[in-house]
Amino acid sequence: MASHRLLLLCLAGLVFVSEAGPTGVDESKCPLMVKVLDAVRGSPAVNVAVNVFKKAADETWAPFASGKTSESGELHGLTTEKEFVEGIYKVEIDTKSYWKSLGISPFHEHAESFETDGCHGNRIQTCWSELTFLLWFHQYVVFTANDSGPRHYTIAALLSPYSYSTTAVVTNPKE
């Protein structure tokens, strides 16, 4: 029964994260926003390091942008419409440092989501890889951006020490 309550709490938090709009920022000027919510405390995850990488022609990941979440758990201003061109991007969320700052040891040593070959249009599909016990404490979301014209992306993550979930809200800025 307790596991059902935790699942419902996580799902409710995920809905909150995915439907919440930016706080005090003109959404039309924010093509990529990251929002992180702490499912344990039921609050925004503050001061979480986020790094964004862009896949280069040689298949390596080049640093693109970085920052830390605010008091609202959001990170705006990562890029501009002009810089955020079509391509494959990876968003890395440093969960290890976040949980460590709270005195919590997370279960996941490494958990990853990745793009499938079946991604088309403005849909973002992710598949879960096997849970691999390595010395990594980051979460990754890899996605194709702007392949159907300019879009705005909100990458939302719901964190707990024993699980995590991500979702994306993709909108057309002209709608």
Classify residue 132 by its DSSP letter: -
The candidate with the shortest Cα–Cα distance to 126, out of 91, 86, 166, is 166
Q: What are phi and psi of 12, to 5 degrees?
A: -65, -40
- In a domain? residue 51: yes
Q: What are phi and psi of 75, to 5 degrees?
A: -130, 110
The domain tally of the chain equals 1
Side-chain-facing half-sphere of 47: CA atoms under 13 Å: 6
Q: List the CATH number of the domain containing 75.
A: 2.60.40.180
Give 94-128 pLDDT, tens digit per residue.
888 888 899 998 876 433 444 333 333 333 333 33
Give 44-89 pLDDT, tens digit per residue.
999 998 888 898 999 998 999 999 999 999 999 999 989 988 888 8
- In a domain? residue 13: no
Range of the domain at 91: 32-108+137-171
77: left (phi over 0), alpha (psi -120 to 50) or beta: left
- In a domain? residue 12: no
Q: Give 23 or 81, the one with higher predicted confidence.
A: 81
